[in-house]
Structure 1
Amino acid sequence: MTELPRHGYHHGDLRDALIRATDEILAERGVEGFTLREAARRAKVSPAAPAHHFGDAAGLLTEVAIRGCETLRAALRASTGADPTERLHAQALAYVRFALDHPGRFQLMFRRSMLKSDDPRLRAALAAAHDELRYAMSAYLGGGQLDETGRLAVTAAWSLCHGFAQLALDGKFDDAAPAGRDAYISTALSHIITLTFPPRN
């Protein structure tokens, strides 16, 4: 374990240090700017250390993506409202805010070519986050199991949130309103959700 004599990391500490370093790189340089060597440099460990703990770059990035999915799921789960329509509004805004607060993780989570996409933990984390959208849509549609139309509605809601988040990340709303980007995003997203999924009697 080449990193231990010099820095005294415990196993969990080193994993967390490498994940923090990866987050920094993703935030600064984007997914394409990530290298395993740079993550090791920032964590102040030998170039071999990340491979020892994660196998390869995909292994480290997969761990970061899993944590991103877990954070997104928690944000979606915490988004509630007085009624099912308000819950949809809250989840849509939470999805976009997650993307803006964690742009590196957000982009990474959907880059299957850079991840171990068959990793059971990653698949479970992605499914758990997606389930929060399904639960909200099920409540909006009256509860119970979603039929084909209901599942398409989930896809429509997800596509709407994801596309809006990507536009926001690309800076398309930076000059959209005098009140500022955040105010515009909140107002515009609320209107779009209402148009797409109007309140139900």
Structure 2
Amino acid sequence: MARYLDVHPTNPQPRSIAQVVAMLRDDALVAYPTDSSYALGARIGSPTGADRIRSIRRLDDKHHFTLVCSDFAQLGQLVQLDNSAFRAIKAATPGAYTFILPATREVPKRLAHPKKKTVGVRIPDHPVVQAILRELGEPLLSSTLILPGAEAPMTEGWLVKEELDHLVDAVVDAGDCGTEPTTVVDWSEGAPEVVRVGAGDPSRFE
């Protein structure tokens, strides 16, 4: 049964954030709100997190996981950026974008795309996620919470709890969150290609 944590959306209670982070450090899988719908998150080093996310979403090994970062400095350690990508991504973050880029050696091989050696990265603009990331001190391994067969991601904490009660370890509810998934920009070939239009304005990368 998933633990349900009711967290203030703009001024999250430190005690609640500490509880979430303690669970993540203990190999928990957490459903949490972002600026672009709910997501599933685990520690990068979790031995079970990636497989549990794949199981819930019925994903194959070619799915791009997203590493959710607290700031641009953290993001820059995980992916290779040329000057144009550096400037454009820095200007667009934090925000509702996911960028697909070549992974650095900091990223475990099992989390990168098996052939392309790429990974998704993003910096969300949401106080609760930022508080979790600061307390955790490392990026979150993450994926948008879109259930198999659904066209839209989940956006309400109580519904996440109802649907995934025995599949996740905790649900963080901070009230209303974004209702669209991120806009995904593939920059792995040296130029931006918008591969999914979502909450972030795609025009700056077209």
TM-score, with normalisation over the residues of structure 1? Answer: 0.26
Larger strand fraction of residues: 2
TM-score, with normalisation over the residues of structure 2? Answer: 0.25
Larger helix fraction of residues: 1
